[in-house]
Amino acid sequence: MATKRVLLKEKRKSNKQNGKPSKLSFTKLEARAETLHKRHCRRLILKPLKMPKSKRNTVISLTKVKKKLNKKEMKNVKLTELKKMIEIPNIYIYVLDVRTHSNNNLKNAIEYFKTSGGKFFIGKNKLMQLALGSSNKSEVKPNVSKISQLLVGNRILLITKDAPLRVIKFFNEYQPDEYIKHGNISTQDVTLKCGDILKVPVSMQKDLQKRRVNFDIVDEKIILRENKVLAEKNKLVSIENAKLLRMLNMKIAKFDIAVLGYWYFNNFVSLMHK
């Protein structure tokens, strides 16, 4: 046993001299590595400490944003605005019947009357009737209740200082082309003939099939197999045909807003044809 110990000591010495690590040093290194690894894992598991929030650390918005109004507040704003407009001296209140319109063309009309201080009131008829008064007892001014009685369906108000001649002339002359809406009466016949090439992409073939259009695709072109009637003169246009006309970019209607009557200085004048 003693000889073995001596031999081991000599071997270790020779290994140290030659630069070779001993078995004992390897085991120590492994143990040391394990302990370091465990400590590192513990540090990762532990959550980092958070500093307390400073009371001075507050966010200050540099832009002012208007608070969104709820439905009740919006109603009150519209009511007060309409009542204020009525109180302006030498003001005209026009009732307009909106028959055919697009948002862009209506915006142009709004901008036209905006220059002279005119304003359109588009919204719920009941709200406008409430502001004007629907009867002789509740009316804000004499005979203004006759205006509120005309507020039925798709009708709007125009309050301006412009005289009737200027307003009526504008709506008679301003008639750009429009897409016809379903339920409107067509002023012309529109028929797609057999063999016509539709100026629509091939990707729209499913939409055409839904609307019962029979066609063939030849060289990535949609060619009709049979005639297709889209509109007849003095007849109502269906929903499907109105969509087809829009799809084919066919504007067969005109921007149409008619003046039904107006109120001025406690008097009401009707422009409706009996």
Q: Which residue has the tokens 């001299």?
A: 17
Q: What percent of the chain has pLDDT over 90?
A: 52
Structure tokens at 183: 């339920």
CA distance 107 to 101: 10
Compute the distance between CA of residue 142 and CA of residue 135 in angstroms, rounded to an integer. 10
Q: Are the CB atoms for 133 and 268 separated by under 8 Å? A: no
Backbone angles phi, psi at 253, to 5 degrees: -115, 170
Is 184 a residue whose pLDDT tops 50? yes
Residue 254 Ramachandran class (φ > 0 left, ψ -120 to 50 alpha, else beta):
beta
What pLDDT digit, counting tens, does each position of 236-258 carry? 999 999 999 999 999 999 999 99
Which of the 8 DSSP states describes residue 236? Answer: B
pLDDT, tens only, 122-140: 988 999 999 999 898 999 9
51, two tokens = 């500093």
93 closest CA partner among 133, 148, 130: 148
List, for residues 186-209, the tens digit of each pLDDT value: 999 999 999 998 988 988 889 898
The domain segmentation of the chain, as residue ranges, is 81-176+255-270, 184-253
CA-based torsion, 247, 249, 253, 256: positive or negative? positive
Alpha helices in 153-264 (DSSP H): 164-173, 205-210, 239-247
d(CA 223, CA 192): 10
pLDDT digits (tens, 9 = 90+) for 41-76: 665 555 555 667 777 777 777 776 777 777 778 888
Residue owning tokens 């992409």: 201
pTM, two decimals, is: 0.70
CATH, domain range 184-253: 3.90.105.20
Return the pLDDT at 16: 52
Residue pair 151/191 in contact by the 8 Å Cβ criterion: no
- pLDDT tens profile 141-172: 999 999 999 999 999 999 999 999 999 999 99
Domain 81-176+255-270, what fold? Alpha-Beta Plaits (3.30.70)
